[in-house]
Amino acid sequence: MKNEKLRLNKYIASTGFCSRRKADELIEAGNVCVNGEQITELGFIINSKDKVTVNGELIKPKTLTYIRYYKPAGYITTMDDEKGRKTIYDILPEEVHNLKPVGRLDKDSTGLLILTNDGDFINQLAHPSIKVPKVYRVCASGKLTMNDLVLMEKGIEIERNQIAYAFARIVEFEGKNTILEMVLYQGLNRQIRKMLDILAHPVISLKRISFGPVDLSGLKKGQFKYLKPKQIQEIKNYLKKLQKNNT
């Protein structure tokens, strides 16, 4: 990193330690020191050569890495599982085991995952206020109607006091089943499956095909590719535009 001045929270996020929002919380709580001096001022400006510690631990900028990954079925999206189930890290190479996923896909779902060690990037992509669209291809049991689509758009209570929304269109009918394209702006646990269960059209298969401007193009199941600097900048510009439009 060049010798430049930048906000303390941005510096912490640039190390991959956490997001800027979480960094602000750590600063306010008095857990951050610069050159041995406790800092509690939000917006504090540092020189990139300053020594920053969080809870006594020296943190340094790291090379930020971003990949897109085509998750196959049968694996959960976590580093460790106390139940002993297979995780995506059992099949991903060790070189990317330090990367965290943006959101999750459940065990039986397939499709796009974005993984990175950039905490700020994760927070922006996943934050509900920014409303990044996630698109899914879903095969549901039975034949859905336009009324079902309207109900999903208006919102379905999938848990007590938890309303889930989805914008859906019918792509085609495949035998007795319905192929849907569904767009979510939320990130609720098993949201699509719960919505369609309530409508009595349980999910047969579910694949995430895009996350904002990132899609599965050029990827086979179980394969990953590094995002190039140009692609990363395009995503960040896209997020800035979304954030501006939603404020």
pLDDT digits (tens, 9 = 90+) for 36-67: 999 999 999 998 789 999 999 999 877 889 99
Q: CA 90, CA 94: separation in Å to the nearest integer?
A: 9
**Mean pLDDT estimate for the chain:** 92
Q: CA 231, CA 201: separation in Å to the nearest integer?
A: 37
Q: For the chain, give every domain's residue range.
A: 5-59, 66-129+213-245, 134-211
Instruction: Assign domain 134-211 one CATH number from 1.20.140.10, 1.10.1520.10, 3.10.20.30, 3.30.70.1560.
Output: 3.30.70.1560
Q: CA 82, CA 169: separation in Å to the nearest integer?
A: 38
Which of 112-116, 130-134, 148-152, 240-244 comes out lowest in average pLDDT? 240-244
For strand 110-116 and strand 203-211, is the pairing parallel, antiparallel, or unpaired?
A: parallel
Q: How many angstroms separate the Cα of 118 from the Cα of each of 23, 42, 61? A: 13, 21, 10
- Per-residue pLDDT at 51: 93
- Per-residue pLDDT at 57: 93
Kindly tell me the number of DSSP H helices and DSSP E strands found in the chain.
6, 17
Collapse the DSSP code of 138 into the 3-class scheme (helix H, G, I; strand E, B; otherwise coil) and give the result. strand
Average pLDDT over residues 22-28: 94
Average pLDDT over residues 185-210: 96
- Per-residue pLDDT at 18: 84
Closest C-alpha among 229, 239, 115, 26 to residue 11: 26
Closest C-alpha among 187, 113, 11 to residue 19: 11
Q: CA 221, CA 217: separation in Å to the nearest integer?
A: 11
Establish whether 106 is a catalytic residue: yes
For strand 66-71 and strand 100-101, is the pairing parallel, antiparallel, or unpaired?
A: unpaired
Architecture of domain 66-129+213-245: 2-Layer Sandwich (3.30)
Asked if residue 103 lies in contact with residue 187, where contact means CB atoms within 8 angstroms, the answer is yes
- Residues in Cβ contact with 92 at an 8 Å cutoff, skipping those fewer than 6 apart: 69, 224
Centroid of chain to Cα 65: 15
pLDDT band at 87 (very low <50, low <70, confident <90, very high): very high
Query: Torsion angle, CA of 200/206/212/214, rounded to 10 degrees?
Result: -170
Q: Does domain 5-59 have CATH number 3.40.50.720?
A: no
User: pLDDT by residue (tens digit) across 204-230?
Assistant: 999 999 999 999 999 999 999 999 999
Collapse the DSSP code of 153 into the 3-class scheme (helix H, G, I; strand E, B; otherwise coil) and give the result. helix
- Residue of 50, 90, 106, 120 marked active site: 106
- Per-residue pLDDT at 3: 61
Higher confidence at residue 83 or residue 2?
A: 83
Q: CA 148, CA 205: separation in Å to the nearest integer?
A: 18
66-129+213-245 matches 5-59 in CATH topology: no
- Residues in Cβ contact with 22 at an 8 Å cutoff, skipping those fewer than 6 apart: 119, 123
